[in-house]
Structure 1
Amino acid sequence: MLRAFALLIGLSLALPVGAGDKLIPIGPAQRTALRIATAPLTAHAGAISVGLPATVTVSPGQERVVAAPVAGLVTGVRVAAGASVRAGQALVTIRSEQLMAGQRDLTLAAVQARLAEEAAKRDEGLFQEGIIPEARWQAARAAREQARAALAERRAWFRLMGLSQADIQAVERGERLVDSVTLGAPIAGEVLERMVMTGARVEAAAPLLRLAQLDPLWLEIQAPAEVAALVRKGQAISVPGTQASGKVVAVGGSVSAAQTVAIRASIANPGGLLRLNQNVEARIEALSGARHWRVPARAIVRMQGQNYVFVERPGGFEPEPVKVLSQSAQSAAVDGPFVGGEAIAVEGVAALKAAWQGMGGE
C-alpha cells in the first residue's frame, strides 16, 4: 500500500502540465501498482431518466364548467363530486322567472315573424302586379328579415338553456310553458368540483359544476436541464408501478429557479389508477437509435460540478466529461462524446483522480 502511494506521489510530480494536455501518463508498472482495471463502454438502450418528479393534471381541452344560463333557484343537484357522468346526463335543475319571461318573448317573436312573412309575400305579389311601389315591397322584406333574426336569437337562447327542438316549437305555438331548466353534462367524465347546493339562488353565468375527462391525462414533469436537453416530442414515457404510458408532447424552453425544465406528456390512464393532482415518478425512454452509455457508478468522478470518466488512451488515461442521465447504486446511464467500445477505468479511479488533480486538473 505504501509503495502504491509513493508511486502516485511520484507520478503527480512527474506529470507534464502543458496547456490543453489532459492525458494522464500511466505505465504498465504504475497501472499494476495502482490496481487500475478497465471495462469496455457499452451502449445503453433504456430510459433517459427514471424517478423524475411529476404531477398528474388534465388537459384544458378535456375540462368543462357547467354554469347557470339564467338566474334562479336551484331545485335539484343530481351528482356529487367524484361521480362519473355520461354526456347529456341531467346534472342540475334551476327554476327561473327569467325563463318564463323568455318564453313569452319567444312566442311573440314567432308571431311577429309569421306576420312579417305573410306581409312580405303579399307585398311582393302587389308589387309584381304594379299596385304598390318597389319601396314598400323593400320595406316589407326588411321587416321580414328583422323578424327572422329576432326569432333566431330567441331560439338560440333557449337552446343554450338546454331545451329540445320539440320544446322550443311547442313554446312558439303557445302550447307549453316551462318554469325550470335542467342542465346536462357537456362531456362524459368525472365531476371534479360541486360549487352549488340545492336551495341556493344563483345568478346567470354562475359556475355550478366542474367536469373533466380523465383519460388521457397530462404529466407535468420537472427534469434537470441536462436531462431535458435530451428529450424530444414523441418520446415514450411511463409511470413505474402502473400501466400508464404515453408520449412527450412539449418540452419547456426556460429553466426554473431550481434549474429544472418543465416537460409535458400525454398519458393513457387504463383502470383509472392515476388521480388528478397525484405526485408520481416518471420514466422517459430514450429515442430509438440514441447513443447513450452504461457505466459502473464507481467509474464516475466529480470535479468542480462536472462528472467525468477516465478513458484509456495510448500511454495513459484521459478524463472525458459526461452527463449523468440516471443512476443506481451499481451503474449509471450517461451521455458523452463516445463512439462505442472505449475502455474506461472501473478500478483505481480514485488514484487517477488524484493524479489528475496533481496535474492541475479542471
Structure 2
Amino acid sequence: MRSTCRKLFSVLIIISSTAVPSVFAQDFIELNEDDLARLAIIFSPITEVDRQSGSRFPATVVVSPESASVLLAPFSGTVIHWHESTGSMIESGAALATVRSQEVLEIQNQWLSAASKLEQAEFESSRDEELFHQGIISEQRLQVSKMQFQRAQSAVDVSAKRLQQAGFTQSEINSMPDSEANLGEYVLRASTTAVLSHRAVDVGQFVEAYSELASLQLSAQPWLRIQLPARLAGTLEPGHSFSLAGSGESLTLQQKNLEIDETTQTIELLAEFDSAVSYLPGRVVNVIVGPASGGVLIPANAVVHTADETIVYVQSGSAIEARVLNLEAAGSNYIARSGLSVGEMVVIQGASVLKGIQLGLGSDE
C-alpha cells in the first residue's frame, strides 16, 4: 500500500513539474497524449437517457382495473373443488368452483317442501274447480283452493330465485326431486368469456357470503402495480414511460394514487403494458423508472464527489475541464438535466487521479 502511494505521489510530482506545462484555471487541466496514456485516462461520449436508464424498483403484475370482473360467493360455504386453474381461458357459463353450503341446502329443502305443497295445491285446485262446475261445492270454497295454490306457487318461485342466485338453472332446480346427490352444493360459473386471473380461496377453505371467490380478466393485457418513494412518484404524471429491467417491455403510467402511505412513505402507481405480454397476475418484476423529463446519462465512474459537490471531468479542446453539476441518481448511474450535451467526452477512468492533480495544483504549496 505504501509503495503504491509513493508511486502515485511520484507520478503527480513529475507531471506537475515537467509533463504538465500549465493549468490556466482552477477548473482546467492540460494533458497531452503521453500524459493521458501514462495516467490511463479514458474518455467516453455522453449519451441520451434510454429506457434502461433509471432506478429499479420491484413491481407486481396485476389484473387491469379497467377490465377486471370480481366474482362473489352468493352464499357462504366451503370450496370443495376448483374446475379451472389460474390463467385458463374460460367460456361464459363455464363452471369455476363447487362450494358446499349449509345455506344452499336449507334453500333447496325449502324449495322441495314448497314444490310438494304446490303439487298438492294444484291437485286440490283442479279437483275443486271440477266439483264447482258439478254444483257440489260453493264458489267460496273454490276461491280458497285457488288462493292456496297461488301461495304455494309464490313460495316455489321465491325459493327458485334464491337458487338461481347460486347459479342453478331452472332445469337443475326442477330435477332436484329426482336427484339428491348434489344437495347442499352450488357451482360458481363464469359471467363472461375471460381469463381466470385469481382464485381467492383454496380448496377446503370457508368463504363468507358476498366475499370474493374469483377474479376474471376480461382483457388479456395485465398491468403493473408499483410502489415508489413519494419524492420520486411526485414528479411523475400519467403518460410517463417505464420499462422492465432486462426484457425491456415498455409501459405507460395510467393511474397515480394521490395519498402517501404513512408507513412506507410511498405512492402506488398503476402502469399498463404497451404491447401484449404473457405475465400472470402475482408475478414480481423489476421496473426501471427514468426521469420525469429529459437529460443525459452520466456513468457512475465518471462522477467524483467532493464535499457537497459532484464533479465530472469533460474534454474541452486540449484541456480537461472539471464541471460541477447537479446530478440525479438513476440506478447505478446519474442523470444531468443541464451542463452537459450528448456527444461530449467525459473521463470514465482516471477521474480520481485528475482530482488529485487539480487539488495539488490548486493549493498554495
TM-score of the aligned structures, taking structure 1 as reference length: 0.56
Instruction: Identify if the C-alpha distance between structure 1 residues 318 and 338 changes in structure 2 by more than 3 Å, giving closer, same or farther.
Output: closer
Once the two structures are TM-superposed, the CA of residue 320 in structure 1 deviates from its matched residue by 0.9
Q: Quick check: 1:301 aligned with 2:304? A: yes
Q: Quick check: 1:24 aligned with 2:19? A: no
Q: Secondary structure, in 3 states, of the residue corresponding to 1:24?
A: coil
Q: In 2, Cα distance between the equivalents of 1:340 and 1:203? A: 61
Q: Quick check: 1:92 aligned with 2:98? A: yes
Instruction: Identify if the C-alpha distance between structure 1 residues 97 and 223 changes in structure 2 by more than 3 Å, giving closer, same or farther.
Output: closer
Partners of 1:44 and 1:333 within 8 A in 2: no
Q: In 2, Cα distance between the equivalents of 1:152 and 1:246? A: 51
Partner of 1:49: 54
Instruction: Identify if the C-alpha distance between structure 1 residues 322 and 177 changes in structure 2 by more than 3 Å, giving closer, same or farther.
Output: same
Partner of 1:338: 339
Partners of 1:246 and 1:267 within 8 A in 2: yes
RMSD (Å), alpha carbons: 5.3
Equivalent residues in 2 for 1:64-83 (5 A)? 64-69=70-75, 77=81, 79=83, 82=86
Q: In 2, Cα distance between the equivalents of 1:243 and 1:28? A: 41
Partner of 2:226: 221
Paired residues in the alignment total 293
Q: Quick check: 1:205 aligned with 2:209? A: yes
Partners of 1:89 and 1:184 within 8 A in 2: yes
Q: In 2, Cα distance between the equivalents of 1:7 and 1:258? A: 52
Q: In 2, Cα distance between the equivalents of 1:53 and 1:357? A: 41
Partners of 2:298 and 2:336 within 8 A in 1: no
Instruction: Identify if the C-alpha distance between structure 1 residues 237 and 343 changes in structure 2 by more than 3 Å, giving closer, same or farther.
Output: closer
Equivalent residues in 2 for 1:116-195 (5 A)? 157-164=162-169, 181-187=186-192, 188-190=194-196, 192-195=199-202
Q: In 2, Cα distance between the equivalents of 1:339 and 1:151? A: 81
Q: In 1, Cα distance between the equivalents of 2:86 and 2:305? A: 49
Q: In 1, Cα distance between the equivalents of 2:346 and 2:250? A: 37
> Percent of aligned positions with the same letter in both sequences?
19
Partners of 1:235 and 1:286 within 8 A in 2: no
Instruction: Identify if the C-alpha distance between structure 1 residues 29 and 357 changes in structure 2 by more than 3 Å, giving closer, same or farther.
Output: closer
TM-score of the aligned structures, taking structure 2 as reference length: 0.55
Partners of 2:309 and 2:325 within 8 A in 1: no
Once the two structures are TM-superposed, the CA of residue 337 in structure 1 deviates from its matched residue by 1.9
**Structure 2 stretches lacking a partner, 5+ long:** 1-7, 18-22, 122-153
Counterpart code for 1:334: I
Q: In 2, Cα distance between the equivalents of 1:183 and 1:250? A: 32
Question: Deviation digits for residues 87-123 of structure 1, max 9, x if unmatched?
Answer: 3212326552323425777999xx9xxxxxxxxxxxx
243-252 vs 89-98, which moves further: 243-252
Once the two structures are TM-superposed, the CA of residue 232 in structure 1 deviates from its matched residue by 3.3
Partners of 2:82 and 2:203 within 8 A in 1: no
Partners of 1:103 and 1:177 within 8 A in 2: no
**Structure 1 stretches lacking a partner, 5+ long:** 10-14, 16-22, 112-148
Match of 2:12 among 1, 4, 9: 4
Instruction: Identify if the C-alpha distance between structure 1 residues 264 and 340 changes in structure 2 by more than 3 Å, giving closer, same or farther.
Output: same
Counterpart code for 1:338: G
Q: In 2, Cα distance between the equivalents of 1:269 and 1:244? A: 8
